[in-house]
Chain A
Amino acid sequence: MRRLYIFSNVIGIFIFNEQFQIFDKYLFVNSEQYKNKDSIEKRFYKKYPGLKKPTKDGIKKILAFFKNKNFFEEFHKKNILITKKMIKDSINEDLLIIQAVSAIEELEKSINILMKRLREWYGLYAPESEHYLQDQERFLKCVLGEYKEEIPSVMGANFSERDLMPIIKLAEEIKRLYELKSKNELYLEGMMESYCPNLVSIAGVKIGAKLIKHSGSLKRLVESPASKIQLLGAEKALFRHIRTGSKAPKHGYIFQHPLIVNAPKELHGKIARTIADKIALAVRIDYFRGKFVGNKLRKELEERVKKEELRVKK
């Protein structure tokens, strides 16, 4: 009995004989057909009983057959279509979270730069208020005239309306940036609460989002061990440690976690390890769409931290 092989690619479905010459073929008209190629393949299996998939060596010979100028235009067109579709499908919640958290970080940076300029500028007019109002938002209110207490100014120059105007305009813009930032934070919070509630309850919105951003996606965060999660964001220190044998870093992004910040210094490493463990657990539950156990995990974590703190105090 003659032996026939079936091979389908983006161009169509091809039947080859033993010498790997074309025996029968079906060319796809559109990309829909490529997606539903199984039904057409079935027809061929019925038409030629004993039809087989080629072995690895067979595939190599078949691929050599397609190295022909006549096929290249089809390869070009079909691959562009398929790749475009794949790019479209690759957009997911991870990417939205990453963009949102990056936007917030950049807004923070820009606000800081502009705020520094505002302080310098307004300091010419009212150095006392600039000095006493260290809190950024209170200072901003003062510039905009919304602050109630009047701080008398002796050192300040007398500015005309024309000189004061650009300062106030700048302050207004910064205020708007603050509003934009808090809107983005609200959006990110909503996203994170629905996408990975367990992670949020352990690590908080911001650290959680940063961890996702740094590892690239929730999937990749799930694949990383707790020890890696502990050091995400501390790569520079880690590689310096590996290369030169300097001190090993204790924590990366999770350093900003309130439990670590408020803990005594000798406990930082230990607590960072515990938090990273819990994050690894929480993330896995989130990724596989498990139940919400964030409260329980959080409680366990806090108890553990308290126990350690008591031990140190003794």
Chain B
Amino acid sequence: MIKKSRIFGVYEDKKRKLYTINLTPGKRVYGENLVKENGIEYRGWNPRKSKLAAMILKGCPNIFIREGSVVLYLGCSTGTTCSHVSDIVGNNGFIFALDFAPRVMREMIFVTEFRRNIAPILADANFPESYLDRISQVDVLYQDIAQKNQLEIFLKNIDFFLKPGGFALLVVKARSIDVSEKPKLIFSKIRGELEKSLKIVDSRTLEPYELDHMMFICKK
């Protein structure tokens, strides 16, 4: 029995497993399980592989990604989470999926070829000027980059591409900012920095799905 969950476009069954409606029925992206019910095909969403799913299971009331949203996804990797975002925004929405590494982008290309609402961008998120010509303004920005200066990258991209009043989701990996510092301290520092220019709507740690990770949802 798969029913709607509190989150728009996300479904759950009795065991609280998450699903999204498959935009391209019959096709898998990363070996997830496909469940068919009442003629609709759902794709299982694994919180251990996707931090956004972990955030939802941690009780986040709203991820601000809806049908028709235009999303800039920084750090798409091979498109695991990205494909679920693509399911949620549907054919009326659009995703600009950016990553820096050619190797993972190679896998991503195959995903974007059959999902027509994703545009792959191979560029360094440190330099928004370098991909200005491949992108438009967006409603939602999602960032999952394991870099030391991830906050700086986040703020730069918000400044350039996020519409006023748009929402931005940031996954902070404490271990890639400083291995020796206590994660709690890093999170509170990041919170302080974010509050200078943005309004924090929600923030949760992603334990037990990911260690030393925290997700912030901010409003521009």
Contacts and interface: CB of A to CB of B under 8 A. Distances in A.
A55 interface: no
A75 B122 contact: no
B136 A242 contact: no
Nearest to B92: A69
Given A79-B119, A242-B180, A67 B132 contact: no
B132 A75 contact: no
A80 B137 contact: no
A67 B137 contact: yes
A87 B119 contact: no
A76 interface: yes
A157 interface: no
B163 A87 contact: no
Given A10-B133, A72-B117, A87 B179 contact: no
B179 A242 contact: yes
Given A67-B163, A80-B120, A75 B137 contact: no
Interface residues of B, number: 30
Contacts of A64: 136-137, 163
Nearest to A216: B101
A63 interface: yes
B112 A239 contact: no
A87 B112 CA distance: 15
B132 A59 contact: yes
A141 B122 CA distance: 52
B122 A83 contact: yes
A23 interface: no
Contacts of B106: 87
Given A59-B132, A83-B122, A76 B179 contact: no
A87 B179 CA distance: 32
A67 B109 contact: no
A66 B137 contact: yes
State the majority secondary structure of interface residues on A. helix
A63 B119 contact: no
Contacts of A10: 133-134
Given A67-B138, A86-B102, A87-B105, A75 B133 contact: no
Contacts of A59: 132, 160
A48 interface: no
Contact of A80 (B70, B109, B117): B109
A114 B121 CA distance: 44
B173 to A, nearest CB: 15
A56 B128 CA distance: 12
Interface residues of A, number: 30
A178 B188 CA distance: 55
B118 interface: yes
Contacts of A68: 136
A89 B117 CA distance: 25
A59 B122 CA distance: 21
Given A73-B116, A76-B112, A87 B102 contact: yes
A152 B190 CA distance: 74
Contact of A75 (B102, B109, B119, B179): B119
Nearest to B160: A60
A87 B122 contact: yes
A68 B70 CA distance: 9
A76 B119 contact: yes
A60 B120 contact: no
Nearest to A244: B180
Contact of B179 (A79, A90, A239): A239
21 contacts: A9-B132, A10-B133, A59-B160, A60-B137, A63-B161, A64-B163, A65-B136, A66-B137, A67-B70, A67-B136, A67-B138, A67-B139, A71-B136, A75-B96, A75-B134, A79-B121, A80-B109, A82-B134, A83-B105, A83-B120, A84-B109
Given A76-B117, A80-B119, 18 more contacts: A9-B132, A9-B133, A9-B135, A56-B160, A60-B160, A64-B136, A66-B135, A69-B92, A69-B94, A72-B119, A75-B136, A76-B94, A76-B112, A76-B118, A79-B120, A83-B109, A86-B102, A87-B106
The 4 lowest CB-CB distance pairs between A and B, nearest first, are A66-B136, A9-B133, A79-B119, A90-B102
